[in-house]
Amino acid sequence: MIKRIFWIVLDGLGVGELPDAEKYGDKGSNTLANTAAAVGGLDIPLLQRWGIGNIIPVPGVDPSIPSQAAFGKMAEISAGKDTTSGHWEMAGLITRKSFPTFPHGFPPDLIAAFESKIGRKVIGNRVASGTEILDELGELHLRTGFPIVYTSADSVFQLAAHEEVIPVRELYQMCRIARELLQGEQGVGRVIARPFKGSNGKYQRTAGRVDYSLPPSDTTVLDLVKASGREVIGVGKIHDIFAEQGITDSYSTESNHQGMNIIQGLLRNRSWEGIVMANLVDFDSLWGHRNDPVGFARELAAFDRGLEQLQREAGEGEMIILCGDHGCDPTTASTDHSREYVPILIWFAGISPGINLGTRSSMADVAATIVEMWDLPALTGTSMANQLAIGGGNHADV
């Protein structure tokens, strides 16, 4: 019986355009395959053995016959291609209406209300790359003390400030004020605090990022697992994405490497039962958004080595689930998320080799599998428990 699940989301790892990708400007996106092609092939031997090359053709990654893990890909049926909607869907909550975006900046009345509440003017208020807008407006920010507001193709309100100009705690309070204002038709998926440091045009974003998400609008698998008396431990920005709903404990991270170390420590601590859900954001934030396939490929290789150690130490009754939440193809002209299928890989000791999970109609199938396996109230999605040969009885279709 599976008693502990280590559910790791490789943020931004897509495996090919969805049928409606053209509507989002993402035709031709394929984060995994395009990254591999750009660097002449990937060095991910464990993921290869698990069957990631069975999902789609990946340069340098041959199919594994039979694979060590169950493999497949999942469509996102929620509207959009945002981190929040992707995570909510895999947790069993479909977002039928996309979160609002602001391609021309936020409305003047909203900005005026925000400025009134924080007692400062703001600068920026347009779509921009997070690093480019620091280069452009960093000096003005240092002279005036005005925080930098910007957004992207995603549903986000981002607020950047130098840590020596606006202390991080004050920046967080400003973001909480923005979150209170950004509701209803202006309810962006996330308000993001973006502290930075540096001088003379050499600025670096620090690890003090915090995401203030809208709370999930309905029950997720995390709520159900918590209500069953099990632990739900968030690693990385999971507690932010779910607005702390359904979480019993959480660990912030500064890097994928630190995240994997925390997961390793939680695996070695056998005193709890339940779920560790981890978000490894570096794939997306450091490499996908910055159009750096070399960095993306290097990060995948490092993750592969960490995963091998995790698998080596996993014991009876411990399951590892890997998936993405959306694409973020570093080889396209866009620096934004891409509307793609995401991979699903599931492994546990004693799993039958070569299980092909196929193309799943929704990312909610992960949540449906967990609730069936642990006999929890049914959620939307189609369970994969029968294919994995793990027990339970609850089942619901999208």
| 200 pLDDT tier (thresholds 50, 70, 90) | confident
User: Quick one: pLDDT at residue 201?
Assistant: 85
Class of domain 4-97+216-388: alpha beta
User: Quick one: pLDDT at residue 207?
Assistant: 85
The helix/strand count (H/E) of the chain reads as: 14, 14
* Mean pLDDT value across residues 344-354: 97
Give the residue range(s) of CATH 3.40.720.10 domains in the chain.
4-97+216-388
Characterize 292-328 residue by residue with b for buried, 16 or more Cβ atoms within 10 angstroms of its Cβ, and e for exposed: bbebbbebbebbbebbeebbeebeeebbbbbbbbbbb
User: Quick one: pLDDT at residue 396?
Assistant: 38
User: Quick one: pLDDT at residue 376?
Assistant: 98
Tell me 178's DSSP state: H
Instruction: With beta carbons less than 8 A apart as the criterion, state whether 36 and 58 touch.
Output: yes
DSSP labels, 53-117: HHHS-BTTB---SS-SSEEEEE---SSS--HHHHHHHHTT----SPPP--TT-S-HHHHHHHHHH
- The string of pLDDT tens digits covering residues 53-79 is 999 999 999 999 999 999 999 999 999
Identify the CATH assignment for 108-212 out of 3.30.70.1250, 3.40.50.1820, 3.40.50.720, 3.30.360.10. 3.30.70.1250
392 pLDDT exceeds 80?
no
397 pLDDT exceeds 90?
no
Please, what is the average pLDDT of the chain? 95
User: Quick one: pLDDT at residue 394?
Assistant: 39
Least confident of 95-99, 326-330, 344-348: 95-99
Least confident of 33-37, 200-204, 270-274, 284-288: 200-204
Give the residue range(s) of CATH 3.30.70.1250 domains in the chain.
108-212
Paired strand residues for 161: 195
User: Quick one: pLDDT at residue 391?
Assistant: 56
Query: The pTM is what?
Result: 0.89
| Count of other CB atoms within 10 angstroms of residue 192 | 25
The span from the CA of 103 to the CA of 282, in Å, is 25
First and final C-alpha spacing in the chain = 26
- The string of pLDDT tens digits covering residues 225-280 is 999 999 999 999 999 999 999 999 999 999 999 999 999 999 999 999 999 999 99
398 pLDDT exceeds 60?
no
Q: What residue has token string 């930075």?
A: 196
User: Quick one: pLDDT at residue 278?
Assistant: 98
The span from the CA of 132 to the CA of 221, in Å, is 38
Strands 156-162 and 190-199: parallel
Query: Which residues, at least 6 apart from 139, have a Cβ–Cβ distance to it below 8 Å?
Result: 201
Q: Where are the beta strands (DSSP E) in 132-268?
A: 148-151, 156-162, 190-199, 202-205, 210-213, 231-235, 249-251
Quick one: what percent of the chain has pLDDT higher than 70?
Answer: 98
Quick one: what percent of the chain has pLDDT higher than 90?
Answer: 92
* 274 phi/psi in degrees, rounded to 5: 140, -140
Residue 56: closest CA among 389, 344, 260: 344
| Count of other CB atoms within 10 angstroms of residue 392 | 17
Sign of CA dihedral 265, 267, 268, 274: positive
Q: Let me know the angle formed at the C-alpha of 166 by 130 and 242, rounded to the nearest 5 degrees.
A: 60
* Mean pLDDT value across residues 211-232: 96
* Mean pLDDT value across residues 314-339: 96
Paired strand residues for 321: 7, 346
